[in-house]
Amino acid sequence: MSDLIITGGRVIDPAQNIDGEFSVLIRDGLVEFIGAPGEAKAKASADAEKLDATGKIVTPGLIDMHVHFREPGMEAQETIASGAAAAVAGGFSSVACMANTDPALDSAADINFVYQKAAAAGLANVFPVGAITAGREGRELAEMAQMARVGAVGFSDDGVAVPTAGLLRKAMTYAKMLGKPIIEHCEDASLTGEGVMNEGYVSTVLGLPGAPSESEEIIIARDVAIARLTGAHLHVQHVSTAGSLEIIRNAKRQGVRVTCEVCPHHLVLTDESVRGYDPIFKMAPPLRAQADVDACLKGLLDGTIDAIASDHAPHLAEAKEQGFLAAPCGVIGLETMLGILLLKLVHGGKISLLELLPKLTVAPAGILGLGRGVLKPGTPGDVTVIDLDREWVVDPAKFKSKSLNCPFTGWQLKGAAVATVVGGKVAFRDGV
Amino acid sequence: MNWTRKHLLGLEELSAEEIVHILDIASGFKEVSTRSIKKVPALNGRTVVNMFFENSTRTNLSFQLAARRLSADLLTFSKSGTSVSKGETLIDTAKNIEAMGVDIMVLRHGAAGAAKHLSENIDCSVVNAGDGQHEHPTQGLLDLYTIREVRGKIAGLKVGIVGDIAHSRVARSNIWGLTKLGAEVMVVGPSTLIPRDIEKMGVTVCTDMDQAIRECDVLNMLRIQFERQDGAPFPSIREYIQLFGVTESRLKQAKPDVTIMHPGPVNRGIELSPEVADGPRSVILRQVTNGLAVRMAVLFLLAGVDG
Amino acid sequence: MPTKLYDEEWVRDTVMRLSDEILADRVPGTGRAILGIRTRGAVLADRIAAELKRRGHDLPLGYIDTTFYRDDLHKGGGLKEIRPTAIGFDVNDRDIVLVDDVLSSGRTVRAAMDLLFDYGRPSCIRLCVMLDRGGREMPIYPNFTGARVDVPKGGFVRLRLAEIDRGDAVYVVGRGEEEPA
């Protein structure tokens, strides 16, 4: 019997409406008890490991449902082990990693590979998302059932959208049978064209080819229509425009089974950041206008946006140094996401902690069917301890991630994870 | 005024006063080109490097001659193709050249922002000789110089910039320079080549060439490229000529003193009919002459600024 | 406050005297021309040329700007307005009188001579200055001098001419003192 007792903290579990000073007892990897400190202490074994969370927030382990761990194939950028280390350092006990590796995660063997690597690392739970189409080539369906059988939590060709409505219909129909979501990167390749940033005044002044918001919206609209047709669960990745949110809001109102996520960078940065031509600000979808940022915040508050995900996308420094046109899209985010959200949204007065936490716990767990994100006896003992007031400066050199492509370098943040517990094991602790 | 800028990256960042200062200094250099010995020792002992990652005979030659007429030592480095191969980035190349002891780098590059990127990574001065579709400040300056010389002023003139506005660095530099100096700018072209929100740069948009010809004091005709990676922006050359080509007969409706400009090389019979290109209203060759004086002024001013 | 050394009467008399000397010195067999060094040397050249013309000697007159020939570009700053050099005559085999307001290190005159040789080969060059404040760094001496002026260390001497300044005068400006208008 192995016990971990977390004492003194303010436990917030949005799924159970728990908010108060309690102790959490985890036994053999599962939540055993939440309740009065005395009672918990009485239940705990004499040699229980202790985590003193006095003055801190104790929540279900945070979940980032959208990361890229680059393994297999691009291990210089990130590995499952280094990514998992970055996850727990950022407060995330679970992540879902995307299939755009090289080769793509499009078979049961690939899904097993991810679980094995994650188990060997022994840090975060890493849940693989399988490719929708074989090789992510957008031609034929991948063996989705085989992948689901060994634990793929959803399907996505992330990086690109499924190219045709016909193929998407098949994929959604099939995924529905498997009870898994289709997770879409919504972008119309022909409308994006050569676009490397948001199309608008800034792209015009900079002389960089832009991609209009409609490039994203048109695919979301198509996908919603197919979700309505098939009854499948559509999850839209990284929404970034006001128009996208309008489409999703309407779809939800009409009962279409659609969920979506937003990335921290789309909540706090605009295309004005691109003015210096720094490829660190190049991502897909691109940073948008202020009106879009405002719409995303509104979408978070009114429930149109279900989850917040980092789209943690490591790239080699050399790749990002090729200049804005040639550089690949993406930023790392696992180790800044919580700090950015706490500083800009919670301390910034835009959203309360009680509104924020579900987007990082119970909501993504629900979308992916993880059975986590809640501190109920019998569920996996994943806990994150947050210090709301810890001030720190973003320095990617200190990150666990192998890559440095962080758009928030030098930012002074307020709020950080100080301990991450995964299956009852303290996978990360910093000063507690 | 006291010139303090180390780099010339674009006209967006310059004040009206700075632009006028460059034009004034250029007047001094224009005289040099009329002498039998067309050379001054101003940059004696300085080294200028032309780094051209895109083909551009004219701009390259103009900068070369400008450097030589200032008595600078000159290196030229040309490498066509915009892609910088892995392992040797623009910055690597530049740092290697800079290590030989260089004072000014003149950069032409296919990527927007390349000059800015370079200026942030090396110690010497950088002149942007065209960065992708972003800016071509010396072209903008020589256009301003020519308008001021021919028309005696810039403020109050209506200047039409005609053609592929979306992909044109010349258009952007012209728009910044002209609007800062008080001209009224109209961008004219097929709607597929007018970029989003360009009005916010302080210009009006017009797709009717006849209206533009009637209203403008100056028509700056951009070079049209027919083939683009993202597909042809208009159905045919014939249709382009019909809509936007300037011919003698069409010019009959223009103001009598209209000035016709073109950054070159002209697609004769397309943007301009040969009679118009070589006609009395055309100042195309004067633009080339003035380009030299403007580039001498730019090199001279940057060389006078310490580290 | 700068000290006023000479007034407008002195300036007028000195222009007359310098014109006398330039006429007396005339080299036979060559065409003489006047070249003023911008900015105040050019104004002074205008006055001398006008005086000579009044006496029946209409000499070619030109202006030079030595900025592009200066050897102190690397020291930065101080780049004032540049006005084109304007020499509307052939300098070859010409007897040139260079006119400047103040002679000190001699570097401006050196630059002016460098410039002149880019235009051709004059048969001789004379130098006329209103004020010589000493402190030469080049082997250059004026042929015609308005006055020699002692200036305290760190100070300057300034010629002011009505065409571009508030009036005709010569000032000595001590260290830290304001420039006269």
Out of B111, B197, B200, closest to residue A323 by CB? B111
Q: Give the model's pLDDT for residue B86.
A: 47
The ipTM of this complex is: 0.91
Q: Give the model's pLDDT for residue B144.
A: 98
Nearest to B295 by CA among B1, B132, B70, B77: B70
Contact A207 B229 (CB under 8 A): no
Q: Give the model's pLDDT for residue A418.
A: 98
Q: Give the model's pLDDT for residue B306.
A: 61
Q: Give the model's pLDDT for residue A65.
A: 98
Query: Does A412 reside within a domain?
Result: yes
What is the distance between the alpha carbons of residues A66 and C153, in angstroms, rounded to a whole number?
A: 74
B interface test, pick of A191, A205, A324 with most B CB neighbours within 10 Å: A205
> Are A90 and A188 found together in one domain?
yes
Partners of B268 in beta bridges: B272
Neighbours of A65 (CB within 10 A): 33
Helix-, strand-, coil-residue percentages of chain B, each rounded to 5: 40, 15, 45
Q: Give the model's pLDDT for residue A373.
A: 96
Q: Give the model's pLDDT for residue B32.
A: 86
Is chain C touching chain A, with at least 3 CB–CB pairs below 8 Å? no
Interface of C with B in 57-96 (CB under 8 A): 65, 67-70, 73-79, 81-86
> Looking at beta carbons, which residues of chain C come within 8 Å of B40?
68-69, 115, 118
pLDDT tens profile C124-181: 999 999 999 999 999 999 999 999 998 888 889 999 999 999 999 999 998 888 888 8
C120 contact B CB<8A: yes
Q: Give the model's pLDDT for residue B88.
A: 63
B6 contact C CB<8A: no
Query: Does A168 reside within a domain?
Result: yes
> Are A362 and A386 found together in one domain?
no
> Are A103 and A150 found together in one domain?
yes
Query: Does A375 reside within a domain?
Result: no
Instruction: With residue B52 as reference, give the H or E element that holds it.
Output: strand B47-52
What mean pLDDT value characterizes chain A?
97
B25 contact C CB<8A: yes
B155 contact C CB<8A: no
Contact B133 A207 (CB under 8 A): yes
Structural domains of chain B, ranges and CATH numbers in brackets: 16-135+291-303 (3.40.50.1370), 137-287 (3.40.50.1370)
What is the distance between the alpha carbons of residues A427 and A87, in angstroms, rounded to a whole number?
A: 10
Neighbours of C71 (CB within 10 A): 14
Partners of A292 in beta bridges: none
The predicted model gives B69-88 an average pLDDT of 73
By C-alpha distance, the chain A residue nearest B229 is A194
> Are A98 and A188 found together in one domain?
yes
Q: Give the model's pLDDT for residue C75.
A: 59
> Are A165 and A100 found together in one domain?
yes
What is the distance between the alpha carbons of residues B184 and A421, in angstroms, rounded to a whole number?
A: 64
- Structural domain count, chain A: 2
pLDDT tens profile A110-120: 999 999 999 99
pLDDT surpasses 70 at A56: yes
DSSP C66-79: -GGG-S-GGG----
pLDDT tens profile C10-47: 999 999 999 999 999 877 667 899 999 998 999 999 99
Query: Does C179 reside within a domain?
Result: no
> Are A289 and A400 found together in one domain?
no
C113 contact B CB<8A: no
> Looking at beta carbons, which residues of chain B come within 8 Å of A276?
113, 116
Contact C68 B37 (CB under 8 A): no
Q: Give the model's pLDDT for residue A322.
A: 81
Q: Give the model's pLDDT for residue C80.
A: 64
Query: Does A374 reside within a domain?
Result: no
Out of C68, C76, C86, closest to residue B40 by CB? C68
> Are A124 and A269 found together in one domain?
yes
CATH code: domain of residue A30: 2.30.40.10
> Are A81 and A54 found together in one domain?
no
Contact B2 C78 (CB under 8 A): yes
What is the distance between the alpha carbons of residues A280 and A396, in angstroms, rounded to a whole number?
A: 12
Question: What's the domain range around C12?
Answer: 3-70+83-173
By C-alpha distance, the chain B residue nearest C77 is B2
- B57-69 and B284-303 helices, crossing angle to 10°: 50
> Are A359 and A255 found together in one domain?
yes
What is the distance between the alpha carbons of residues A245 and A301, in angstroms, rounded to a whole number?
A: 12
Boundary residue ending a domain (A368, A393, A408): A368
Contact C86 B31 (CB under 8 A): yes
Least confident window among A13-17, B150-154, C26-30: C26-30
The predicted model gives A231-239 an average pLDDT of 98
Q: What percent of chain A has pLDDT over 70?
A: 100
Give catalytic status of residue A387 as yes or no.
Answer: no
Q: Give the model's pLDDT for residue C71.
A: 76
Boundary residue ending a domain (A326, A341, A368): A368
pLDDT tens profile C66-103: 988 887 765 554 456 777 888 989 999 999 999 999 99
Q: Give the model's pLDDT for residue A323.
A: 83
B69 contact A CB<8A: no
The predicted model gives B182-190 an average pLDDT of 98
Burial class (CB in 10 A: 0-12, 13-18, 19+), C23: middle
Q: Give the model's pLDDT for residue B307.
A: 47
Out of C76, C77, C114, closest to residue B41 by CB? C114
Question: Looking at CA atoms only, how far is residue B153 from chain A in angstroms?
Answer: 26
Question: What's the domain range around A221?
Answer: 62-368
What mean pLDDT value characterizes chain B?
93
Contact C68 B306 (CB under 8 A): no
Query: Which residue's structure tokens are 């930065």?
Result: C76
DSSP H stretches of helix in chain B:
16-32, 57-69, 90-98, 114-119, 137-151, 169-180, 209-215, 237-244, 248-251, 274-277, 284-303
Q: Give the model's pLDDT for residue C77.
A: 46
Query: Does C62 reside within a domain?
Result: yes
Residue B306 in tokens: 């310490």
The predicted model gives A211-223 an average pLDDT of 98
Name the pLDDT band for C1 (thresholds 50, 70, 90). confident
Query: Does C53 reside within a domain?
Result: yes
> Are A97 and A22 found together in one domain?
no
Boundary residue ending a domain (A368, A397, A420): A368
CATH code: domain of residue C102: 3.40.50.2020
Contact B197 A201 (CB under 8 A): yes
Three-state secondary-structure class, residue A231 = coil
Q: Give the model's pLDDT for residue B83.
A: 47
Chain pair A-B, CB pairs under 8 angstroms = 71
What is the distance between the alpha carbons of residues A188 and B273, in angstroms, rounded to a whole number?
A: 40
The answer to whether residues B179 and B260 touch, using CB atoms and an 8 Å cutoff, is no
> Are A362 and A385 found together in one domain?
no
Q: Give the model's pLDDT for residue C179.
A: 87
> Are A138 and A239 found together in one domain?
yes
Name the pLDDT band for B119 (thresholds 50, 70, 90). very high
Query: Does C180 reside within a domain?
Result: no
- Structural domain count, chain C: 1
pLDDT surpasses 50 at A7: yes
Question: Looking at CA atoms only, how far is residue A81 from chain B in angstroms?
Answer: 27
pLDDT tens profile A140-191: 999 999 999 999 999 999 999 999 999 999 999 999 999 999 999 999 999 9
